[in-house]
Amino acid sequence: MFRLPTFLRKKYDTRKSENVPGATARSQAIDELAKRDKFFLLDRRNILVLGLDGAGKSTFIRQAKLHAEHTNAPGSRQSTGSTTSVHGHSRASSRRQRPPDPVEEYLFAVHILHPGPTGHNCHVRNTLVRPIPRMLGLRRKWLPVLTGTSVEAMVYIADLSSYDTWAGGEGEAGKEEDEVCENLLHAALHDLSDLCTTPAISETPTIFVVLTHLNVFAAKLPSVPLTRCFPEYSGLPDDTASAAQYCTNAFLRVARSNRRRRVHVSCINLLDEGEVEEQLQKIGEILSQERIRSLLQERR
């Protein structure tokens, strides 16, 4: 359910106004927030978290925030090793277990211990991780706001286990032939393709594609072959590594529409904190390397 921020609830309280429909009030609230944040985002580097509904965006952010709370707790190992944290800067409490509000933002920081006699930490500062849901036209409103700002990277979340599911329901006999239905994994590929040509993202130098629910995907393969989604797949029906690599290559081809763009694809289980932590660390390290490379190019 859409939740208006506290400072906008009185202004757009639909229960007190019979002339303003709820959908219009929500749209006006989003416009107000977009107008306000346009100026705030100019001095920030932004990492967008996008994907179809139900792909795992909220879980990805929630796991990152839980990891941040753990690493910032007294006695944590943050000061002795390489850790990654995503800090909440929202009006809602970071401890509440619910999907993030559309306007929540998270400051991304990674600590990298460099090899050598005197190691030091590098911090990815002033970087906001913004989950943007597809519901209520939020993506349509928010992406133009980000045009012209520093969108440093996009994290696209896709559900790998949705390969046997269609938009109208489970992929039962006849469902995949229904013109109204669309395979959800194909829908994710089309969605990513559309995003890669969006003005706010088309010049984004780095894209991370995170394919989630790898464990569910592996459990389904013996009974539901990948050919249900990709008829041209010729690997062994129950070979998880081969099937996952095939899906990885499919997303790589779509995301590499811009030859200058660097694309990284990972397959993880979102419920495994260790895998999410490793993924966040990887994102932070790559962004640090990209910034160093960019600085070196500017000095030439």
Q: How far apart are CA 158 and CA 153, in angstroms?
A: 16
Residue 218 CA, distance from chain mean position: 22
CA distances (Å), 158 to each of 83, 98, 150, 186, 221, in order? 25, 20, 24, 10, 17
pLDDT at 204: 80
Most confident among 55-69, 102-116, 161-175, 265-279 (mean pLDDT): 265-279
Among the listed residues 169, 188, 183, 145, the one whose alpha carbon sits nearest the alpha carbon of residue 52: 188
Asked whether the beta carbons of 52 and 70 are under 8 A apart, the reply is no
Window from 121-125, 164-168, 169-173, 264-268 with minimum mean pLDDT: 121-125
The pTM assigned to this predicted structure is 0.67
Query: Domain 46-299 falls in which CATH fold?
Result: Rossmann fold (3.40.50)
Asked whether the beta carbons of 154 and 48 are under 8 A apart, the reply is yes
Top pLDDT among 123 and 272 is at 272
If pLDDT is split at 50, 70 and 90, which confidence band does 119 have?
Answer: very low
pLDDT at position 161 over 70: yes
Most confident among 17-21, 96-100, 135-139, 157-161 (mean pLDDT): 157-161
Q: How far apart are CA 188 and CA 143, in angstroms?
A: 18
DSSP 8-state secondary structure symbol assigned to residue 18: S
- The three-state secondary structure class of 7 is helix
- The three-state secondary structure class of 158 is strand
If pLDDT is split at 50, 70 and 90, which confidence band does 247 have?
Answer: very high
If pLDDT is split at 50, 70 and 90, which confidence band does 272 have?
Answer: confident
Q: How far apart are CA 295 and CA 139, in angstroms?
A: 31
Count the alpha carbons within 13 Å of 270 in the hemisphere toward its beta carbon. 22
Window from 44-48, 120-124, 165-169 with minimum mean pLDDT: 120-124
Neighbouring CB atoms inside 10 A of 43's CB total 9
DSSP labels for 54-75?
TSSHHHHHHHHHHHHHHHHSTT
What integer is the mean pLDDT of 188-195? 91
If pLDDT is split at 50, 70 and 90, which confidence band does 3 have?
Answer: very low
Query: What b-and-e string marks burial along 219-255, b requiring 16 or more CB atoms within 10 Å of the CB?
Result: ebbeebbbebbbeebebeeeebeebbebbbebbeebb
Signed CA dihedral, 246, 249, 254, 255: sign only: positive
Domain spans of the chain, in order of start? 1-43, 46-299
Helix, strand, coil abundance in the chain, percent, nearest 5:
45, 20, 40
Residue 259 CA, distance from chain mean position: 21
* pLDDT per position as a tens digit, 43-95: 556 677 888 888 888 888 777 666 555 555 544 444 333 333 333 333 233 33
